[in-house]
Structures are given as structure tokens and as C-alpha cells.
């Protein structure tokens, strides 16, 4: 397929999947339950954190997290006491367990009280038209307080070779505009041009079939390669092609 034809094809797929019906089976439906900016970003971050495996299970367990947070995640995180964390004792999603979730709540409180919130950290550390250095620095901030060693695996670091799929997905949710009713566009301090397409097994396989990606591993180097090719098609909003690549892979078995 010629480059011009490929762009037309993928742009059409973006339009096809970037619409409210996408929410029906996608974890992004969880933050759509909220209207307060902080509730949206916290619920989105926690949902994205457990977004691997069966999507039905992801949605079910994300809803459980929100219920345990009294469906007011920002208020709970800011005002919880140590004793309140006992309610999370039985929570588990694959390898993300109650110990991990308890620390996430404690760390998020530190971030909102000491760093001005999630958006402020990512905005401060986005450089060279990329969010990958910001993701790496976010991990440093997230674990700047005493933490269980096991929990560090649940925040990826692009500077150590990870494609950081879940955080890149979270950033897409926060930064891309809300025009179609899917993404939120509540972080207007970060340009969409800085975003990267979340790279996972589905988007990676489709990208390879379309000659957008040659590297076999879904890692940071592969993400950089995919970034370069997607920016040739839309330098201002490369992450929009997540809808096309993911939709082709998951819904069309491309």
C-alpha cells in the first residue's frame, strides 16, 4: 500500500473507531463516570494501571477500585487515614494486588499534596517533543517515598527500554481533545504532538503488517520507530492512530 493510500485508510479507521460506541467495551468508560478533573485523571490512571489481559476483567476490577474509593477517588486519596486502607486487603487484578493498590493511593496523595497533581508532573518533564522522558521522571516521583519493591514493576520506564503502553494510553486519554466523546482533553498544557501511540501486541502486529514497524519486540525502540512513521502522517496528533491500529487488531483481526 502506498504511503498516501495508507494514510487515507488509517484516517478512515480513526473516524470509524474514535466515537462513543468505542466506550462500550473499553476501560476508558471508567473515568467517563466522573466530571471533576481530579476524579477523571485519578480513575483513568488507576484503570490504565491494570489495563492488561481480558478487557472485561479490567473493567470489572476498575469498577471495584472505584467502589472501594467510595466513587470519589480524589476526595478519598486526599483525606484517607491509614486505617481506611484495610478495605483494599482483598483486591487483586492479575499481579497487581492490595499491597500495590495501597501504595498507589499513598503515592497519589503525595503527588497531589507535594507536586501539584498528575498533570503538573508530566507537563514539567515533557521535553524534545516527547512524553517518554516525562514518563521516566514520573516513575521517579511516584516512588520517591518509601514503597514496596514489588510495586515498582507496575510503572514502566521508557528510559529502561519499556514501551510504557499503559501510561502512553493514559496520556492519550488526558491530552487528546474530547470532540468525539472518547478522550477527555483535560490536560491542555501538553500538546497532542508530544503523545505516542500506545504500543501493545495488537497495535504492534497491525503496524508490522502495514510496514509501519519492523522491530519485532514491543519495546521503547519499537515505539520510537512507530512514532517516527505515525508523525509523518499526522505530526500534530500521532496518537490518534491508536484507534486505527487497535481497532484493526482487536475488532477486525487484521
Q: E-assigned strands of the chain?
A: 92-93, 96-97
CA dist list (Å): 169 to 82, 197, 242: 31, 7, 9
Task: Please give the chain's pLDDT, 254 residues, in tens.
Answer: 788 899 999 999 999 999 999 999 999 999 999 999 999 999 999 999 999 989 999 999 999 999 999 999 999 999 999 999 999 999 999 999 999 999 999 999 999 999 999 999 999 988 878 999 999 999 999 999 999 999 999 999 999 999 999 999 999 999 999 999 999 999 999 999 999 999 999 999 999 999 999 999 999 999 999 999 999 999 999 999 999 999 999 999 88
Amino acid at each position: 500500500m502506498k504511503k498516501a493510500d495508507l494514510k487515507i485508510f488509517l484516517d478512515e479507521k480513526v473516524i470509524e473507531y474514535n466515537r462513543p460506541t468505542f466506550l462500550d467495551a473499553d476501560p476508558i468508560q471508567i473515568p467517563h463516570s466522573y466530571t471533576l478533573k481530579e476524579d477523571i485523571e485519578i480513575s483513568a490512571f488507576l484503570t490504565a494501571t491494570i489495563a492488561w489481559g481480558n478487557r472485561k476483567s479490567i473493567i470489572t476490577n476498575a469498577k471495584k477500585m472505584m467502589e472501594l474509593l467510595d466513587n470519589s477517588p480524589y476526595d478519598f486519596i486526599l483525606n484517607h487515614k491509614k486505617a481506611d486502607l484495610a478495605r483494599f486487603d482483598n483486591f487483586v487484578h492479575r499481579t497487581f494486588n492490595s499491597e500495590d493498590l495501597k501504595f498507589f493511593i499513598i503515592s497519589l496523595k503525595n503527588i497531589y499534596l507535594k507536586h501539584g497533581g498528575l498533570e503538573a508532573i508530566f507537563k514539567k518533564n515533557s521535553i524534545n517533543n516527547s512524553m517518554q522522558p516525562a514518563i521516566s521522571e514520573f516513575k521517579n516521583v511516584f516512588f520517591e517515598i518509601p514503597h514496596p519493591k514489588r510495586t515498582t514493576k507496575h510503572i514502566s520506564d521508557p528510559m529502561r527500554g519499556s514501551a510504557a503502553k499503559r501510561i502512553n494510553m493514559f496520556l492519550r486519554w488526558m491530552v487528546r481533545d474530547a470532540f468525539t466523546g472518547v478522550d477527555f482533553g483535560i490536560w491542555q498544557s501538553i500538546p497532542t504532538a508530544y503523545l505516542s501511540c500506545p504500543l501493545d501486541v495488537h497495535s504492534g502486529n497491525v503496524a508490522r503488517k502495514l510496514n509501519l514497524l519492523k522491530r519485532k519486540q514491543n519495546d521503547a525502540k519499537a515505539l520510537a520507530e512507530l512514532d517516527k512513521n505515525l508523525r509523518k502522517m499526522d505530526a500534530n496528533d500521532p496518537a490518534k492512530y491508536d484507534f486505527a491500529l487497535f481497532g484493526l487488531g482487536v475488532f477486525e483481526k487484521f
